[in-house]
Structure 1
Amino acid sequence: MSGRLEGRRAFVTGAGQGMGRAIALLFATEGAAVVAASRTLAKMDDLPRLAPSIRPVGLDVTDRDTVQAAIAAAGDLDILVNCAGWVHNGSILDCSEEDWAKSLEQNATSCFRTIGAALPGMIARGRGSIINVASVASSITGVANRAAYGASKAAVIGLTKQVARDVIRTGVRVNALCPGTTASPSLESRIAASADPEATRREFAERQPIGRLGEVSEMAAAALYFAADDAAFTTGQILVVDGGQTL
């Protein structure tokens, strides 16, 4: 690779699988020292073998004290990627108050916590890139049965733009990545749990006019753009990588 993140330190949540894992591995390949965080530490056992510059840590992003301690222990961060999240399936009529609260807590409030913990150090050093993984689902376009998820991801976009505006003269950039439907262990589990997995798989793929699901490697490449100097003049923006879903 090109060493676009050489000498930088990154903190990636949701690194146990899917996009978060792909982002952690790509950033390490590009030269970054990466703290890979996941609620399930065992999912990351192989990461240091694949990329020695990755240090896995167990992290519950809904626990404020644990988040603050983990980010403090990570040292001077140049990059923060918020990729941890949870998908609730259902319309507003299928969504309990508990599901609604969990969606906001895990998808939006988690970003509030990690950004709040990492931002003072970035501001003090005059540099940093924060990348929040949102979604095109409901937050950019209407997607059936994603009421709580879409609302929580829309909150992530709003938070991204607000923080970007507030810190725009500090050297810290804040952007949001909005993937379309992407092949991942999370998606596979939802497909497997459906009444007709093959039909569900086709339905997910057909959302994208390009005719297929996205790949986690493609989302990682988009995150790399935001993290690297290529995006030095880019802040408060939404990068949609969705195979034409929102055309």
Structure 2
Amino acid sequence: MKIAAVLTCFNRKDKTLNCIKKLMHQYKTIDIYVCDDGSTDHTSEAIKKKYPNVKVIKSNGGLFWSKGMFQGMKAAVTKDYDFYLMVNDDVDFYDNMLEIMLNSYESANGNCSIVGSTQSSFSKKLTYGGSVLKTKLNINKKFLLSPTGKVQKCDFANWNCFLIDKFTIDNVGLIDNAYEHGIGDFDYSCRMKKKNIPMYVATDYIGTCERNPIKNTFGDNELSIKKRLSLLLSAKGLPIKSSFRFYWKNYKIIGVPFLLWMYLRILLSISLNKPC
């Protein structure tokens, strides 16, 4: 069985090295592809020194997450693996992560993808994983599914840990590299749904990962309104181009009111100096 792991990184050398170490403990012949998007903390050099067999794809800092993952996937698919494991380098994987993911895949009878759930190392609460729509009438309202010991079908998957089989790659392709940073993982979920390829939440937690803090983001009400607006429209916020692409591409005219409502709600919170 051939397995490739794909991740992108930027100036988180210690976390990236820890992620690679944990991945190598999962499976003796796993191939790892890292897209280093212009790190200045010598991440690439450290990887090459400690893990010379890891494939490092270097960029100049303009890719961000979705485009970085695209480059990693593009390199990996040339080797025709059985599975492609998409991960974030800030996940601290449990030793049996891959076993849980592969067993969940078998439980779901194959021809699907599996999303691994992470929990906070402090509170042990669910942080990332697979989510379902609360109601089909509101495409913006989702809730995460906690692992139950059995696989659970989901609508959307965070790519903190996401196992894609060859069948899915052959039918859906790579992540869309038109997105400026985020949303690419949720877009991939929508593309899978259109192809009638299911996604399932793995049976158990696969590691720890903290939720991204709101400090120094557009949600931080300690920042000025001008700064928050700038962050909102930045690549790591909710850039208009990427947001419009996601809603129009996946929902057409139905998605426009939800897109507008999302921005109006956020702008109202910013104008009232409230967190969001």
Q: Which has the higher helix share?
A: 1
Give the structure with the larger strand fraction. 2
Bigger Rg, structure 1 or 2: 2
Please give the range of the TM-score, normalised by the shorter of the 2 chains.
Answer: 0.3 to 0.5
TM-score by length of 2: 0.32
